[in-house]
Structure 1
Amino acid sequence: MSSPAIPSVLFVCVHNAGRSQMAAAFLAHLGGDRIEVRSAGSAPADAVNPAVAAAMSEVGIDISAETPKVLTTEAVRASDVVVTMGCGDACPYFPGKRYLDWKLDDPAGQGVDAVRPIRDAVEQRIRGLLAELGIEPRP
């Protein structure tokens, strides 16, 4: 018997240094090996936003070693669900993909206090996405 394909989710924002990194980290953390996770940016930053890394470490997820990646058409093509977060027209569109656009404040230039509510909103959306995909979140 073949096992069902593992769903693949791509998170896209402009710099791939904040929202998309948080979303990818939460999905990988909560979904484990039952989901494939990618993130990318249309104009990637040099590094993950330090306030974002600090806010994520508060909930036990270390993203300090992550590197922003450039968005490629291959990444979009290989994904079942593409979640955009303010990348506008820079996100390539492929028919047959499921697209979600999450309106979230941009943590760029913000301190940890401003990032926490964004982090919590991202986590809630990730839990909702897992439920839609029929994947029980890990504790």
Structure 2
Amino acid sequence: MKKWILTALLVTGVYTAYQQNPQFLDKLKPALPAELALEHNGATADGSRISAAYSHQLSDIQVGGSGRVIKVLPDDTKGSRHQKFILKLASGQTLLVAHNIDLAPRLPDLQIGDSVAFYGEYEWNKLGGVLHWTHHDPAGRHIGGWLEYRGRRYQ
């Protein structure tokens, strides 16, 4: 009975603190490494934010940068359709881009060697990571991302 009462008090306290200050829960999250602090909407000129997310095996990190296309993959047509390609960043790290073409226009005539700038959400994997959310969110609940290719922004 005592555990139940203590649990109820704890939940009530957290809920009350959240109602008074929604950022309260952010203080309960573990701190990110310093090199992952947001700079210029997640973009760093040298890709250090992506390198840090990769080395710390972190996901759900907003990142930006640019790279050269080293492989164009077939579209993923299961569920939401995604244009897929692999970028090589200046650091040498590779990054799989999964660009939702049901929500944003396809990058036309994408070729090996083309330069693509990006802003989206990084997901860790042992091969270098995956970039997604490179488009707007129709529901407005997620930060919008984009790809820039041949002087045009795709979002």
> TM-score interval w.r.t. the shorter chain?
under 0.3
**Scaled by the length of structure 1, what TM-score is found?**
0.26
Identify the structure with the greater helix proportion.
Answer: 1
Max Rg structure: 2
Q: Which has the higher contact order (CA 8 A, sep 6+)?
A: 1
